[in-house]
Amino acid sequence: MNGVPPGDGPDRTRSDIQNEIAEILVRSHAFGSVGERDGLIRAVGARYHRDLPVEPIQHDMTHLRLIVRTCAGADCLALLVDEARIRLAEPSTLRLLQLVDEWDGVQNFTDDEWRTIRDILQQVDIARVSNINELFRRAVRSRLPAPPAHCRSPWHIFVHLAGLNADDQGVPLFMVFLWQVADAVEDAVGRPLKHLVNQLGQKWGITAALQRRLWAQPLPEAGPAQSMLLILIDQHPLHQNRFTVTYWYQWDPERWAPHRGADQVVDRAMLEAAVRGIVETVESQWPLDGGPLRLEFVLPMMLLNLPVERWSKEIDPDDGPVPFYRHYPVVVRSLDRIQERTRHRVWRRRWRVLREAPGTTVCLYSVGDPPRLEQDIVLDERVVSLVLSASPEQPNGAREIRVAIRTGVPVLLWHREGTPDRLFRQAVQDLLAYGGIVELPDRAQRLRITSSRDDDDLADTGRNLVLLWDDPSRLPDELGPPAPGGGINP
Q: What region does 272 belong to: left with phi over 0, alpha with psi -120 to 50, or beta?
A: alpha
- Whether 469 has a pLDDT exceeding 70, the answer reads yes
3-7, 204-208, 301-305: the lowest-pLDDT one: 3-7
The mean pLDDT of the chain is 83
428 C-beta neighbours (distance < 10 Å), count = 24
- Report the b/e string of 457-488 with b at 16+ CB within 10 A: ebebbbbbbbbbbbbbebebeebeeebeeeeb
Question: What is the per-residue DSSP string for 14-72?
Answer: HHHHHHHHHHHHHHTTSS-SHHHHHHHHHHHHHHHTS-------SSHHHHHHHHHHHHH
Burial of 230 per CB tally in 10 Å (0-12, 13-18, 19+): buried
Which alpha helices (DSSP H) does 87-242 contain, by range?
Answer: 90-106, 111-121, 132-139, 154-162, 173-185, 190-203, 207-215, 222-226
Query: pLDDT-based confidence at 6, cuts 50/70/90?
Result: very low
14-35 average pLDDT score: 91
465-to-42, 145, 387, 468 alpha-carbon distances in Å: 64, 39, 11, 10
- Whether 460 has a pLDDT exceeding 60, the answer reads yes
**pLDDT value, residue 431:** 82
Rounded CA-CA distance 344/282 in Å is 30
CA dihedral 408, 410, 416, 420 (to 10 degrees): -80
Could you give phi then psi for residue 465, rounded to 5 degrees?
-70, 125
pLDDT tens-digit series, residues 342-352: 899 999 999 99
Query: pLDDT-based confidence at 63, cuts 50/70/90?
Result: very high
Question: What is the per-residue DSSP string for 84-124?
Answer: HHHTS-HHHHHHHHHHHHHHHHHTTS-HHHHHHHHHHHTT-
Query: pLDDT-based confidence at 373, cuts 50/70/90?
Result: very high
119-to-16, 113, 122, 302 alpha-carbon distances in Å: 16, 10, 5, 47
Q: Residue 294 CA to chain centroid, in angstroms?
A: 18
Q: Are 189 and 120 in contact (CB under 8 A)?
A: yes
| Angle formed at CA 387 by CA 343 and CA 446, multiple of 5 degrees | 110
* pTM of model > 0.75: no
Domain segments of the chain: what residues? 11-106, 111-215, 227-331, 332-469
- Residue 101: which residues within 8 A CB-CB, separation 6 or more? 150, 151, 156, 159, 160, 162, 163
Q: Are 484 and 256 in contact (CB under 8 A)?
A: no
427-439 average pLDDT score: 73
107 C-beta neighbours (distance < 10 Å), count = 16
| Angle formed at CA 43 by CA 40 and CA 49, multiple of 5 degrees | 140
- Report the b/e string of 318-340 with b at 16+ CB within 10 A: eeeeebbbebbbbbbbbbbbbee
pLDDT tens-digit series, residues 280-320: 888 877 766 666 789 999 999 999 999 999 999 988 888 88
DSSP label at residue 216: T
